[in-house]
Structure 1
Amino acid sequence: MNRRKFIKRTFFGLTGIGLVTGLYTWQIEPFWLEFVKVKMPIKNLPDDLVGKTLMQISDMHVGKRFDHRYIIKSFNKAKEFNPDFVVYTGDYVSTHKGKVLYDVLDEVFGHMVKGKIATLGILGNHDYGINWAEADVADQIASKLSDNGVDVLRNEATAISGLHFIGFDDYWGLNFNPQKAMQHFDPTKATIVLCHNPDVCDEDVWGQYNSWILSGHTHGGQVKPPFLPPFILPVKNRKYSAGQFSLSNDRTLYINRALGHLWQVRLNVRPEITLFELQKG
């Protein structure tokens, strides 16, 4: 093979690889949902909750960035698992031209996955509208969640069948008050904290808390080249990308990779719904 043919074949080969990769990251992986199963040992878990399932859904980002029917189809798949608890950990919307598409959100919320025992949720930064500064947007989204059977925790706690949930309002939003939320913590009770932004794990707000924290927010970076960390992560602590982390004082953090997307592109970071199996800790 002469040099000209080699260069030509190399050029077309690399062009073809680029086109295939581009198509995959745009049209395939963003909709290739993975159900991730995780064991969840919890201290003081009541006997009758052992073996129950808790589903985490995060970062739906309903708007114009991708076809919202993907979220509805994902919900229908998730319902086949018939979870006992469902928790939504924020970022239900992405604004379009500065507005939340409430009609589309209503359609999606009409298909939400519900837990047999309970369904709970918290808010994320995008649920506070433009620049995370629109309290009326957050209030309206919270109201719509409640209307659809989701118990929204805004620096609040609730106990259901012996399992206690503490929900933080968003770290970047207008109503972040972890001290108010954590005043409900009882170390003798089985407890899970819902906290959209994992950076909160490094704040001095946890006291003696020693159980699970469920977060989202990062989307796992959405694009992760082989053998390299994600290029973009919206957190100060760059280790908080996705998955399970052991923290100080016997805390365990889990970061969901998100169901939706800020932009319709993913590489080595498939969208995720997490299914936890409750166990004695």
Structure 2
Amino acid sequence: MKNPSRRQFLKGLLGLSAAGIFTAAGGFGYARYLEPHMLETNFVPIKHPLIPKGFDRFRIVQFSDTHLSEHFTARELLDVVRNMNRLDPDLIVFSGDLIDKPHRYREHERAVQALQKLSAPYGKLAIYGNHDHGGYGTKVYQTLMASAGFRVLRNDLIKLELIDGSMIEIASLDDVMLGRPNYKGTLSKLTTDAFSILLVHEPDAALTAKDYPVNLQISGHTHGGQVQLPLFGPLITPPYGEIYTEGMYEIGEMKVYVNRGIGTTRLPLRFLSKPEITVFELAAEMM
């Protein structure tokens, strides 16, 4: 294990001090009982010359990091599902971390029933997050998501084709922390003449993915830091989520979007990092 640098130590010390001030100032009640339920829907237009005309206005709805537990229940998940269905998605993507502690969770049937109600004409895709592998959850996650009608991807490449023959490519990587992501074996199969999307839980995977023909990377994992402070930013960022923490980034020709997720982990708090559903609306560049 690496020793923390002086800069990291000072940042942590400052963060702890700021957290103390934040708690003393009465922010705890807001962060514990209000903001975790303030679900935002963010609309993100994606325009690119490789997007075919058939995919113009095609909607990909992403949700992530539900971390099902006593703090975010299957009943609350059902409310999220209803909100997502109202967004008229063409494709639904879940970017990992379904259950916070898979070895302790018992409401699998209710979770499946909620996820089954999600509907999109071009299907539902899911990838692994670190919590999906943790707690001996690898097979449980696969079974649960498949039962809910999701196609679970791990180091896969699929071609999504419409009736008119237009096509985009969707690649996936296994979880970076606890899985076995195969960057070269998967991403080297992408073509340069098709619009491509990479689904990977950890956003800092972009540091390697940028060397391949990926046009858009969609990730989660960070929860936007879960607790942020003005002028300071996230108090804590997880491994492989320390560089790209929330929202949109551009790395050369590639865009990276980091969804803040829906649930919480470690502490049931959110502050200046509201839970999020993301709607990507593709736009073809008409000639």
Q: Deviations over 1:70-112 (max 9, x none)?
A: 221111111111111111101111116x43433453344334x
> Are the structure 2 counterparts of residues 202 and 71 from structure 1 closer, same or farther at C-alpha, using a change threshold of 3 Å?
same
Larger-gyration structure (1/2) = 1
Aligned residue among 254, 257, 260 for 2:257:
254
Alignment of structure 1 residues 76-155 onto 2, 5 Å: 76-95=82-101, 98-101=103-106, 102-111=108-117, 113-130=118-135, 134=136, 137-155=137-155
Aligned residue among 70, 74, 77 for 2:76:
70
> How far has the Cα of 1:17 moved from its partner?
8.0
Give unpaired runs (5+ residues) of structure 2.
Answer: 1-20, 162-166
Q: Distance in 1 between matches of 2:81 and 2:88?
A: 11
Q: Deviations over 1:185-208 (max 9, x none)?
A: 1111121000100121113x5533
> How far has the Cα of 1:128 moved from its partner?
0.7
> How far has the Cα of 1:68 moved from its partner?
3.4
> How far has the Cα of 1:236 moved from its partner?
4.9
Give the match for residue 8 of structure 1: none
Aligned residue among 16, 36, 46 for 1:40:
46
Tell me how many residue pairs correspond in the alignment. 258
Give the match for residue 63 of structure 2: 57
The one-letter code matched in structure 2 to 1:230 is P
Give the match for residue 211 of structure 2: 207
> How far has the Cα of 1:212 moved from its partner?
0.2
The one-letter code matched in structure 2 to 1:246 is E
Larger displacement relative to structure 2 (228-237 or 81-90): 228-237
| Residue pair 1:118, 1:160 contacting (<8 A) in 2 also | no
Normalising by the residue count of structure 2, what TM-score does the alignment of the two structures yield? 0.83
Secondary structure (helix, strand or coil) at the match of 1:39 reads strand
Q: Distance in 2 between matches of 1:82 and 1:199?
A: 30
> Are the structure 2 counterparts of residues 184 and 140 from structure 1 closer, same or farther at C-alpha, using a change threshold of 3 Å?
farther
Question: Is 1:194 matched up with 2:189?
Answer: no
Q: Distance in 1 between matches of 2:212 and 2:113?
A: 41
Query: Percent sequence identity over matched residues?
Result: 25
Q: Deviations over 1:39-69 (max 9, x none)?
A: 1123421211101111111111112333332
Question: Is 1:238 matched up with 2:242?
Answer: yes
The one-letter code matched in structure 1 to 2:271 is L
The one-letter code matched in structure 2 to 1:85 is L
Question: Is 1:183 matched up with 2:183?
Answer: no
> Are the structure 2 counterparts of residues 81 and 174 from structure 1 closer, same or farther at C-alpha, using a change threshold of 3 Å?
closer
> Are the structure 2 counterparts of residues 46 and 228 from structure 1 closer, same or farther at C-alpha, using a change threshold of 3 Å?
same
Secondary structure (helix, strand or coil) at the match of 2:193 reads coil
The one-letter code matched in structure 2 to 1:139 is K
Larger displacement relative to structure 2 (76-85 or 98-107): 98-107
> How far has the Cα of 1:15 moved from its partner?
11
> Are the structure 2 counterparts of residues 45 and 62 from structure 1 closer, same or farther at C-alpha, using a change threshold of 3 Å?
same
> How far has the Cα of 1:221 moved from its partner?
0.5
Structure 1 segments, 4+ long, off by >4 Å, are: 14-17
| Residue pair 1:245, 1:254 contacting (<8 A) in 2 also | yes
